[in-house]
Amino acid sequence: MSNAWFETVAVAQRRAKKRLPASVYGALIAGAEAGVSIGDNLTAFDELGFRPVTAGQPAERDMATTVMGQPMSMPVIISPTGVQAVHPEGEVAVGRAGAARGVPIGLSSFASSPIESVVEANPQTFFQIYWAGDRDSMVARLGRAKDAGAVGMILTLDWSFSHGRDWGSPDIPQSMGIRTALRHAPEVMARPRWLATWLRQGKIPALGVPNFVVGDEPVPGFMDAYGVWMSTPPPTWEDVAWLREQWDGPFMVKGVHRADEARRAVDAGVTAISVSNHGGNNIDGAAAPIRVLPEIAAAVGDDIEVVIDGGIRRGSDVVKAVALGAKAVMIGRAYLWGLAVNGQAGVENVLDILRNGIDATMRGIGKGSLAELGPDDIVIPADFSPPA
């Protein structure tokens, strides 16, 4: 049997591409329009350099931190992703991997596993919701998450329903019936290992959205839930403040891109913001979050916690983000590639890659703790960020 371990996230992505049916791989790549933002999320990290030290490095590096009241072994949080059909154990496997490595998970309201089983797998679970449906239904979803034991809420707001992609969008079925199965049969038959993983568990991808409803309401299909979200008018900052009031505990707004709005988030009483462009899936051309992080971190100071997501593939990316003002990062595709390739062990593999990379980078630049990291550790090109 071949060794399932991989040495970098890029290797995991290559293997995931070979393993997943084309439409599932395409749904993970996602992106919008010309893919400028997905590309910038990666190249922006590459534009940043380090200033390594030559001697006197600390013998040990401490990378533990706390975000939204949750202690974590390193400044990494599993970001919510609403994707289906990657692996039969889905977010439960991701949650277990996070728990094994001391890392919290954000669970998407479009995820395939019910929140109750994910909290069981990882007690450090934040539940993510969109501004979708009427107020009563949102409060009901918060109530279900609370009852399940979620330790924090993430409200994601950076989605603009920009659907076209120059490379074509995957066909996302509403649910899995015989006709859907037949339509997807050719691409699935070309991926026997993916199919075998499902069959071994006696499952086929269900494609339902179980966390979108409460009690004994029927589980909607992906596109039904998406339709509810799409037809809900966007919230004002007053609405955000209202929703925040409905949740007794740490609350994050995900998808902030501007310093003035970061201040609005502070005024709305949130605990944390994630500087994000939804992994390049919001409007194309949205700058890489790392470019606007310094300005946002300066605008909010210690008033709220600032995390960042988008383009994190290496431990050195995490160190760059913390040096430029983030308390932690959230990861999306990196763990999805790991999940696709090797389930829970694959996600643990990704988390180990990040941990080793953070450790090596901190050693290289002579830093023994996250608190010692700052912009002086980074070589920043003059035109890296938009003018203030």
Ligand X SMILES: Cc1cc2nc3c(=O)[nH]c(=O)nc-3n(C[C@H](O)[C@H](O)[C@H](O)COP(=O)(O)O)c2cc1C
Q: Which residue type does 211 have? A: N
Question: 56-75: which residues touch ligand X (CB under 6 A)?
Answer: none
In order, the DSSP letters of 323-361 are: HTT-SEEEESHHHHHHHHHHHHHHHHHHHHHHHHHHHHH
45, 110, 131, 212: residue in contact with ligand X (rule CB under 6 A) = 110
309 binds ligand X (CB under 6 A): yes
User: Is 278 tagged catalytic?
Assistant: yes
Q: How far is the CB of 159 from ligand X (least distance, A)?
A: 8
Q: Which residue type does 205 have? A: P
Residue placing its CB nearer to ligand X in the complex, 126 or 264: 126
Binding mask 222-261 for ligand X (x = CB under 6 A): --------------------------------x-------
310, 315, 325, 346: residue in contact with ligand X (rule CB under 6 A) = 310
Question: 25-44: which residues touch ligand X (CB under 6 A)?
Answer: 27-28, 30, 41
Q: How far is the CB of 26 from ligand X (least distance, A)?
A: 10
276 binds ligand X (CB under 6 A): yes
How far CA 58 is from CA of 134, 353, 374, in Å, comes to: 53, 20, 16
Stretch that binds ligand X, among 4-12, 164-172, 184-192, 275-283 (CB under 6 A): 275-283
The dihedral over CA atoms of 377, 380, 386, 388, expressed in degrees to the nearest 10, equals 50
279 binds ligand X (CB under 6 A): yes
Q: How far is the CB of 277 from ligand X (least distance, A)?
A: 8
Residue 325 token pair:
């003002």
Binding mask 134-173 for ligand X (x = CB under 6 A): ----------------------x-----------------
333, 338, 358, 370: residue in contact with ligand X (rule CB under 6 A) = 333
Phi and psi at 308, nearest 5°, equal: -140, 145
Residue placing its CB nearer to ligand X in the complex, 30 or 93: 30
Q: How far is the CB of 255 from ligand X (least distance, A)?
A: 7
Rounded CA gap, 101 and 232, in Å? 38
Q: Which residue type does 301 have? A: G
**Of 30, 21, 8, 14, which Cα lies nearest the Cα of 332?**
30
331 binds ligand X (CB under 6 A): yes
**Positive or negative: CA dihedral 361, 367, 371, 372:** negative
82, 88, 210, 250: residue in contact with ligand X (rule CB under 6 A) = 82
**Of 12, 46, 6, which Cα lies nearest the Cα of 317?**
46
332 binds ligand X (CB under 6 A): yes
Residues 34/347, Cβ–Cβ less than 8 Å: no
Residue 367 token pair:
């830093």
**Positive or negative: CA dihedral 316, 322, 328, 332:** negative
Residues 205/73, Cβ–Cβ less than 8 Å: no
Q: How far is the CB of 31 from ligand X (least distance, A)?
A: 8
Q: Which residues bind ligand X (CB under 6 A)?
A: 27-28, 30, 41, 79-83, 108, 110, 128, 156, 254, 276, 278-279, 281, 309-312, 331-334
